[in-house]
Amino acid sequence: MKVLKFGGTSVGSAQRIKDVAALIVPRGKNIIVLSAMSGTTNSLVEISDYLYKKNIEGAKETINNLEAKYRRTIDELYSTEEAKAQALHEVKACFNYIRSFTKDIFTLFEEKEILAQGELMSTAMMTIYLKEQGVDAQLLPALEFMRTDKNAEPDTQYIRSRLTTLLDKYPEAQLYITQGYICRNAYGEIDNLQRGGSDYTASLIGAAINADEVEIWTDIDGMHNNDPRYVEGTEPVSHLHFEEAAELAYFGAKILHPTCVLPAKLNNIPVRLLNTMQPNAAGTLIYNTQGPKAIKAVAAKDNITAIKIKSGRMLLAYGFLRKVFEIFETHQTPIDMIATSEVGVSVTIDNERNLEAIVNDLKKFGTVTVDKDMVIICVVGDLEWQNRGFEAKALDALRDVPVRMISYGGSNYNISFLIRKEDKVKALNSLSDHLFKHK
């Protein structure tokens, strides 16, 4: 059995829902994970925002607009009156539930209930559509098996045992449909796996049932070797190691959510990135084996701030780095890149929320310099230290770009450069020219 996940754009209209149905039925008895229709979760966040601000009118207007969109989709999607009525009934129930929150106090708890409605609606609509087409599709409610523990981490034992029981209940089904993103927490309340979390759902389910493969269907033909928004002629990468995919997902390639990698990697389940618009394209296969030695891809992460702490006291001292890192911990700010010398250390952060406080605290330990509007360029591939020439090639590509930091040796799979925002497009293009052309 496989797990096939379709994102918001893949189910973003009546036609796209039909296309997905045509794609999944011939592929047999698999578990299909769906996101909410595109734009829905954003609208639900907006509705919650209005409710937090007690702007009931704003909330109601947004709810009405969203409901109208769903009614139009239903009108177009189904051919029988019976299916139409059934879908309307489901969708109306969700919207009435959302409306019920306009009358009472509004907290994080209610917000999570609202955010869950998008996936509940898309999966209900797909299941009804498949049944109308004569397919025995069985809905597996994620709220009955997807669960996080007290640390907000997936409770894998629980997920496995509940999901297995559910599947055993419907042995005759032709395929299964379930919601991405939503879950219950350790207290049984409705919760979610964070924005973009449907990929994570797919990977967790894959791990729970020991799936043959997890397929992430989007609207691009796999992970590309550079950012197609800035570089012409990028190509899909056919094979990636999980570690390479994790670096790329984190450092900019939006196609796969970074959390998705770990459950699949630990359970040795291949993840394939495929394109709904071009279902026969090979896509990208992510697995635990290393392909031919090569640099595979380049990605960029924007809005990075570099902080340098220079101190004579660091010379031959121990405990200096701990003190520096502790400040970032106190201010709950993750560090991405690090570069050290004997008298100073540079780090990068992508969250400026506590920058001022961090800088103030760091000044106790040395002279602090801040560079904003920087970009991390991440070069990913077989960069094991004993291989020769790859680092030199990447560096050579950046010979005309001022480089603020370099980080290499943290893993076998990447080398990262910190450059200025205005040099990003030039750097990405030059890397593609040097690394992927004239091979």
Tell me how far, at minimum, the Cβ of 284 lies from Mg ion, in Å: 15
Give the nearer residue to Mg ion in terms of CB position, either 258 or 291: 258
Residue 73: both structure tokens together: 């989709």
Report what 154 binds from Mg ion, ligand ASP, none; CB cut-off 5-8 Å by kind.
none
How many residues bind ligand ASP, per CB under 6 A? 12
Give the nearer residue to ligand ASP in terms of CB position, either 24 or 345: 24
Q: Evaluate whether 259 touches 207 at the Cβ level (below 8 Å).
A: no
Regarding 206 and contact with Mg ion (CB under 5 A), the answer is no
Return the range that interacts with ligand ASP (CB under 6 A); candidates 192-200, 277-285, 309-317, 329-337.
Answer: 192-200
Phi, psi of 155 (to 5 degrees): -90, 90
Tell me how far, at minimum, the Cβ of 196 lies from ligand ASP, in Å: 5
Tell me how far, at minimum, the Cβ of 200 lies from Mg ion, in Å: 10
Return the range that interacts with Mg ion (CB under 5 A); candidates 134-142, 148-156, 190-198, 376-384.
Answer: 190-198
Regarding 86 and contact with ligand ASP (CB under 6 A), the answer is no
State which of residues 118, 154, 180, 196 lies at the interface with Mg ion (CB under 5 A): 196
d(CA 170, CA 177): 12
Return the range that interacts with Mg ion (CB under 5 A); candidates 2-10, 100-108, 118-126, 429-437.
Answer: 2-10
Phi, psi of 58 (to 5 degrees): -60, -40
d(CA 7, CA 268): 23
State which of residues 14, 21, 83, 196 lies at the interface with ligand ASP (CB under 6 A): 196
Strands 2-6 and 31-34: parallel
What one-character DSSP code corresponds to residue 412?
Answer: S
d(CA 260, CA 82): 38
Return the range that interacts with Mg ion (CB under 5 A); candidates 4-12, 153-161, 243-251, 379-387.
Answer: 4-12
Residue 232: how many other CB atoms lie within 10 Å: 8
Phi, psi of 7 (to 5 degrees): -80, 180
Q: Evaluate whether 308 touches 346 at the Cβ level (below 8 Å).
A: yes
CA–centroid distance for 302 within its chain: 16
Regarding 270 and contact with ligand ASP (CB under 6 A), the answer is no
Report what 270 binds from ligand ASP, Mg ion, none; CB cut-off 5-8 Å by kind.
none
Regarding 7 and contact with Mg ion (CB under 5 A), the answer is yes
Q: How far is CA 158 from CA 152, 191, 210, 265, in A?
A: 14, 16, 15, 20
Q: Evaluate whether 278 touches 347 at the Cβ level (below 8 Å).
A: no
Regarding 180 and contact with ligand ASP (CB under 6 A), the answer is yes
Regarding 195 and contact with ligand ASP (CB under 6 A), the answer is yes
Regarding 178 and contact with ligand ASP (CB under 6 A), the answer is no
Give the nearer residue to ligand ASP in terms of CB position, either 48 or 414: 48
Q: Evaluate whether 146 touches 208 at the Cβ level (below 8 Å).
A: no
Tell me how far, at minimum, the Cβ of 203 lies from ligand ASP, in Å: 12
d(CA 233, CA 19): 28
Regarding 35 and contact with ligand ASP (CB under 6 A), the answer is yes
Write out the residues near ligand ASP by the rule CB under 6 A. 7-8, 35-36, 41, 118, 180-181, 195-198
